[in-house]
């Protein structure tokens, strides 16, 4: 998830008009400029992920100050558009032959433009942290003991984390209120459920985020026994809402928490089990039902256990761990 004030998702509606999510942008780079990317000037390809069909680009917008990061992602196929009478299977889409050998034909397929959308995310103005986040980089696994968390990780994240104002804007209904799928107003066990910006709206790639109302829970490390009502409420009501609205039951959902998270306000991810969402690997994703079970077993479980996480070499925390001569001991 990312700030609506800093990230605008560019989608095409049925009338082929670009829609921009609410957000405060540079006065020169306003909503009308997002009908295309003609003012974007490419400086560098940060990362080209061929497996996920995502490319991250660094550049700037002509006539506007500051760097920009543009992320382009091929969207998933929607089963609603894959019908025998759809535009995939008529003269509006065409094939360009690469070769044909016996029963095997290889072609480039060009669907009509409405079926060939690329999801675009724009971060502007982008900080060096954003540029680093979307750049290709070497990865390392850190086995974080409670002492390592207290001595190095916690001080670093307090000092160097991303601004959370965009989260508070959602909780306070000053931004993105039209995107809220469900809200529980209880100050202790309540949360807001809304689509993650990575979701293109198709059930096949369903991705929602639950932001808790409480502002004093940074991550998995803070969870204790008195947070069980919050966790159980998010699990129960999140599943009920998704089942009612999108037709997926609990056994079809992957419900998890990231450690380390991309931002330090406690939140829970809900994705369709068939969707290989970013960040679902074992070294980062912790299943919510298992988190609840661990805390029921030991109330201070997440203050006592060693938790592995993945870190990038260009992350400031990596440098702090290197300086403390921690990495070569892990």
Residue whose token pair is 């104002």: 165
Helical spans, DSSP H, in the chain: 128-133, 146-148, 154-160, 165-171, 228-246, 288-297, 301-304, 316-323
Burial of 7 (0-12, 13-18, 19+ CB in 10 A): buried
* Annotated binding-site positions: 166, 176, 196, 198, 258-269
* Annotated binding-site positions for substrate: 166, 176, 196, 198, 258-269
- CA–CA distance, 87 with 115 (Å, rounded to integer): 8
Residue 267 annotated among the catalytic residues of the structure: yes
With a CB cutoff of 8 Å and minimum separation 6, the contacts of 105 are 97, 99
Residue whose token pair is 């990865």: 139
Catalytic-role residue among 108, 227, 267, 286: 267
- CA–CA distance, 234 with 166 (Å, rounded to integer): 21
- CA–CA distance, 136 with 298 (Å, rounded to integer): 38
Asked if residues 56 and 71 have their Cβ atoms less than 8 Å apart, the reply is yes
For residue 118, give Cα distances in angstroms to 80, 181, 278.
Answer: 17, 24, 17
Catalytic residue set: 267
């Amino acid at each position: 998830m990312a700030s609506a004030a800093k990230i605008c998702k560019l989608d095409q509606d049925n009338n082929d008009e670009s829609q921009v999510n609410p957000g405060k942008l540079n006065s020169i780079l306003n909503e009308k400029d997002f009908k295309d990317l003609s003012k974007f000037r490419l400086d560098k390809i940060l990362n080209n992920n061929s497996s996920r069909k995502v490319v991250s680009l660094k550049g700037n917008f002509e006539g506007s100050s500051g760097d920009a990061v543009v992320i382009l992602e091929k969207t998933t196929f929607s089963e609603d558009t894959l019908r025998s009478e759809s535009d995939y299977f008529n003269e509006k889409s065409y094939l360009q032959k690469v070769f044909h050998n016996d029963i095997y034909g290889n072609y480039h397929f060009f669907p009509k433009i409405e079926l060939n959308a690329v999801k675009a995310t724009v971060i502007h103005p982008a900080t060096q942290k954003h540029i680093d986040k979307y750049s290709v980089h070497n990865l390392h696994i850190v086995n974080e003991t409670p002492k390592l968390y207290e001595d190095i990780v916690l001080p670093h994240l307090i000092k160097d984390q991303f601004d959370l104002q965009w989260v508070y804007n959602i909780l306070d209904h000053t931004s993105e209120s039209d995107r809220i799928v469900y809200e529980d107003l209880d100050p202790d066990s309540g949360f807001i459920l809304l689509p993650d910006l990575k979701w293109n709206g198709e059930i096949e790639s369903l991705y929602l985020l639950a932001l808790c109302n409480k502002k004093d829970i940074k991550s998995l490390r803070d969870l204790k026994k008195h947070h069980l009502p919050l966790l159980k409420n998010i699990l129960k009501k999140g599943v009920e809402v998704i089942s009612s609205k999108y037709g997926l039951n609990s056994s079809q959902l992957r419900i998890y928490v990231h450690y380390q998270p991309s931002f330090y306000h406690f939140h829970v991810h809900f994705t369709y089990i068939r969707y290989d969402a970013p960040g679902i690997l074992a070294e980062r994703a912790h299943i919510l039902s298992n988190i609840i079970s661990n805390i029921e077993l030991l109330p201070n479980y997440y203050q006592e256990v060693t938790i592995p996480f993945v870190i990038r070499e260009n992350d400031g925390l990596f440098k702090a761990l290197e300086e403390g001569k921690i990495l070569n001991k892990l």
